[in-house]
């Protein structure tokens, strides 16, 4: 991982936005490898201006359409193309695997945005690409309901129409949008969700939504966010590999507290944001596993690291069944999403349990490759999920999240995956 974006990676986004396909081609052919976020940002910026040749070039160069762009406004390339009403770009992105039902960070889908604007051609393109007409994203109304609301608003003169003829034209447009969406709603939202849950049932994993109270846990080894960690006597304090500064204790999970996981030991998470070093880099995360019975002691942090205010689990809640999202990409050994009807695949976006949690599946904000154990090649299991604005504040940006995953068979085989706004 490089410590910061290179100047040419920022320039790549500028060139893509201008539609300078020759300059973009030269930058990509220079032998320098752009990070995934830089490619996704360039793809989004070119899509937002309808530059189809640049979009096709970036896709051919490995840009992943289901990653979010860096900075504001945070969105995927498909949503950017919908805003631009760029039909050719929309179709190219869909052919390249863009998920038409991926909610943006605000909880809106591409089809909901197109419906609100009344773009019939865009709506048709999205429906052909598998967008679900009756899917209610994490926030907002279903597209079918949005069309009804817009038609009523147009009739009542609440939209930008000055004359009666303009009001009538807008009402007719949204009536046509509603009819198109109704035609695209093939099996209905309820049926789609039931079929998706049935197909994914075997992949269900127990998850515990964390409800926290301020202060250290009464039991010094219990699960908590922040505070002082537990370290073996004489063990060195974890140090950041990027800036060499002492890391901050972020969380501790005593796996035995969560019986349905069937796991034991203590997993601790440390992070560094390089606040005391001249390094612009994403938060560095390190997770450690300690077996039950290991001799551990509370340790005050080494300067300049300071503990974040501790929060403990007041009461372990009952587990809920968590299901994977189509944004979790690994290979067909996880689940072959193509076997699901498009509307059922869309409904599966709503199943993942969000917020800070222990267990379950990662509730990814964008495409996420689930790591595998190097010893047995099995998918790692989620031990802890922390989200921006949750118990840890803005460690991962304003909309990011972090996942700590571990092999169920080989304890200690741990991976930390961060989805950060900027990186």
Residue at a domain's end among 197, 229, 249:
197
Upper half-sphere CA count for residue 351 (Cβ side, 13 Å): 29
Over residues 327-350, the pLDDT tens digits come to 997 666 788 888 888 888 888 988
CB 134 within 8 A of CB 144: yes
In a domain? residue 149? yes
Q: What is the CA radius of gyration of the chain?
A: 24
Provide mean pLDDT across the span 5-17: 88
- For residue 394, what pLDDT band results from cuts at 50, 70 and 90? low
In a domain? residue 40? yes
The CATH number of the domain holding residue 310 is 2.30.320.10
Over residues 168-178, the pLDDT tens digits come to 888 888 888 88
Residue at a domain's end among 197, 232, 256:
197
Same domain, 151 and 216: no
Same domain, 34 and 93: yes
Over residues 48-73, the pLDDT tens digits come to 999 999 999 999 999 999 999 887 77
Same domain, 189 and 215: no
Same domain, 295 and 327: yes
pTM of this structure: 0.87
Domain count, the chain: 2
Residue 269 scores a pLDDT above 70: yes
State how beta strands 401-406 and 414-419 pair.
Answer: antiparallel
User: Where do runs of H (alpha helix) occur along 185-329?
Assistant: 189-200
Residue 201 scores a pLDDT above 50: yes
Closest to 81 in 3D by CA, of 112, 110, 40: 110
**How far is the C-alpha of 407 from the C-alpha of 371, rounded, in Å?**
10
pLDDT at 1: 39
- For residue 299, what pLDDT band results from cuts at 50, 70 and 90? confident
pLDDT at 31: 64
Same domain, 136 and 251: no
In a domain? residue 94? yes
User: Which comes out higher in pLDDT, residue 366 or 393?
Assistant: 366
Residue at a domain's end among 151, 174, 197:
197
**Three-state DSSP class for 339?**
helix
Same domain, 322 and 373: yes
Q: What domain range includes position 192?
A: 7-197
The CATH number of the domain holding residue 180 is 1.25.40.20
Same domain, 140 and 209: no
Over residues 233-258, the pLDDT tens digits come to 999 999 888 888 888 899 999 999 99
In a domain? residue 1? no
Provide mean pLDDT across the span 267-296: 81
Same domain, 312 and 372: yes
Structure tokens of 24? 């973009």
Same domain, 288 and 165: no
In a domain? residue 322? yes
Same domain, 105 and 178: yes
Same domain, 351 and 302: yes
Same domain, 362 and 243: yes
- For residue 2, what pLDDT band results from cuts at 50, 70 and 90? very low
Provide mean pLDDT across the span 91-109: 90
Residues 113-140: b if buried by 16+ CB within 10 A, e if exposed: bbbbebbeebbebbbebbbbbbbbbbeb
pLDDT at 3: 46
In a domain? residue 382? yes
Per the prediction, the chain carries an average pLDDT of: 87
pLDDT at 278: 57
In a domain? residue 2? no
pLDDT at 99: 94
Q: Using DSSP, how many helices (H) and how many strands (E) does the chain show?
A: 12, 16
């Amino acid at each position: 991982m490089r410590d910061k974006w290179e100047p040419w990676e920022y320039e790549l986004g500028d060139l893509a936005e201008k539609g300078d396909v020759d300059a973009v081609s030269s930058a990509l052919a220079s032998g320098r490898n752009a990070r995934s976020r830089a490619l996704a940002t360039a793809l989004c910026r070119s899509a937002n201006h309808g530059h189809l040749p640049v979009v096709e070039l970036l896709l051919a160069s490995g840009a992943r359409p289901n990653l979010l762009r860096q900075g504001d406004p945070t969105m995927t390339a498909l949503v950017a193309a919908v805003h631009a009403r760029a039909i050719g770009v929309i179709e190219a992105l869909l052919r390249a695997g863009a998920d038409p039902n991926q909610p943006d960070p605000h909880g809106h889908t591409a089809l909901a945005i197109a419906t609100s604007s009344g773009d019939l051609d865009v709506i048709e393109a999205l429906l052909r690409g598998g967008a679900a007409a009756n899917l209610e994203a994490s926030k907002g109304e279903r597209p079918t309901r949005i069309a009804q609301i817009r038609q009523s608003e147009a009739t009542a003169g609440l939209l930008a129409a000055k004359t009666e003829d303009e009001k009538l034209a807008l009402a007719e447009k949204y009536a046509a949008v509603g009819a198109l969406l109704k035609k695209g709603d093939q099996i209905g939202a309820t049926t789609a969700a039931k079929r998706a849950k049935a197909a994914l049932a075997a992949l269900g994993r127990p998850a515990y939504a964390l409800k926290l109270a301020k202060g250290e846990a009464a039991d010094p080894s219990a699960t908590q966010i922040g505070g002082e960690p537990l370290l073996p006597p004489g063990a060195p304090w974890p140090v950041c590999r990027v800036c060499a500064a002492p890391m901050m204790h972020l969380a501790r999970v005593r796996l035995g507290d969560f019986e349905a996981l069937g796991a034991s030991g203590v997993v601790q998470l440390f992070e560094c944001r390089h606040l005391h070093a001249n390094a612009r880099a994403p938060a560095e995360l390190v997770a450690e596993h300690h077996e039950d019975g290991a001799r551990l002691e509370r340790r005050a942090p080494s300067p300049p690291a300071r503990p974040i205010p501790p929060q403990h689990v007041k009461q372990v809640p009952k587990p809920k069944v968590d299901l994977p999202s189509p944004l979790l990409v690994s290979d067909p050994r996880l689940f072959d999403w193509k076997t699901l009807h498009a509307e059922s695949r869309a409904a599966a976006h709503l199943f993942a349990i969000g917020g800070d949690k222990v267990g379950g599946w990662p509730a990814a904000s964008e495409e996420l490759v689930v790591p595998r154990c190097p010893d047995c090649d099995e998918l790692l299991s989620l031990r802890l999920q922390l989200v921006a604005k949750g118990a840890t504040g803005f460690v991962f940006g304003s909309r990011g999240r972090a996942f700590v995953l571990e092999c169920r068979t080989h304890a200690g085989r741990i991976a930390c995956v961060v989805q950060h706004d900027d990186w």
